[in-house]
Chains A and B, each alone.
Chain A
Amino acid sequence: DAGVTQSPTHLIKTRGQQVTLRCSPKSGHDTVSWYQQALGQGPQFIFQYYEEEERQRGNFPDRFSGHQFPNYSSELNVNALLLGDSALYLCASSLAGSASYEQYFGPGTRLTVT
């Protein structure tokens, strides 16, 4: 049973560029959440997708957008990259309505903006 997978593993972009990160949830899960983890910090919630709609959003600008596909996979898009967007981006999947309240995390995508 495959867990949460993310691609790519690492990415280097230049300021002002756009980036797309991808996530496939754990088998059986229908909800995907994205977190940003800056160096030396705890993960910060970006947004969450369920039934192809954004259900919750953290305190991130509109430059951060996402999408969820019918197969529950998800993309995170960041436009007009800033140096401060350099971070580890984590995807977490879960099952809506589950009593376990667990989120399963992928290995992350390390984004470096130069």
Chain B
Amino acid sequence: AQSVTQLGSHVSVSEGALVLLRCNYSSSVPPYLFWYVQYPNQGLQLLLKYTTGATLVKGINGFEAEFKKSETSFHLTKPSAHMSDAAEYFCAVSDRSNGFQKLVFGTGTRLLVSP
């Protein structure tokens, strides 16, 4: 069964610093991987996804992630944090069967950005 581990329930950075949120996955098939962001009292917004092709994926708001099969990782990065990046971030792997997919999420990482 597919699973996701997010290291660090909280990550604190200063505004302008590098953001690195870690995600490792377990999958019995080639994985489809996703990063979602959740602002307080809101639903989930897709930041970026990896399905096939280029392993470095660029998303919205300056975020990017690199799929590393050998390390079973899909870490999320942003060169320079903004105050508006403070939110909860979820990594997810797609569990596909019979043409349908469901998402298996990690427990999330809360990003705190200080001035």
* Residues of A that sit less than 8 Å from B by CB: 4, 31, 33, 35, 40-45, 48, 50, 55-56, 58, 90, 92, 94, 96-97, 99-108, 110
Contact = CB atoms under 8 A, between A and B. Distances in A.
**Chain B residues touching A, range:** 20 to 34
Interface in B33-73: 34, 36, 41-46, 49, 51
Given A33-B102, A56-B100, A96-B100, A42 B90 contact: yes
Contacts of A105: 36, 43-45
Contacts, number: 65
Contacts of A43: 44, 90, 103, 105
Contacts of A33: 102-103
B51 A41 contact: no
The 8 lowest CB-CB distance pairs between A and B, nearest first, are: A42-B105, A105-B44, A105-B43, A107-B43, A45-B102, A42-B107, A55-B100, A43-B105
Nearest to A6: B43
A33 B99 CA distance: 14
A96 B100 CA distance: 7
Instruction: Pick from B44, B46, B97, B99 the residue with the most CB of A within 10 Å.
Output: B44
What's the dominant secondary structure at chain B's contact region?
strand
Given A43-B90, A43-B105, A101-B51, A107 B100 contact: no
Contacts of A42: 4, 90, 92, 105-108
Given A90-B43, A101-B51, A102-B46, A45 B103 contact: yes
A48 B44 contact: no
A94 B49 CA distance: 15
14 contacts: A33-B103, A42-B92, A43-B44, A43-B90, A45-B103, A56-B102, A90-B44, A92-B44, A94-B101, A96-B100, A102-B34, A103-B101, A104-B46, A105-B44
B106 to A, nearest CB: 5
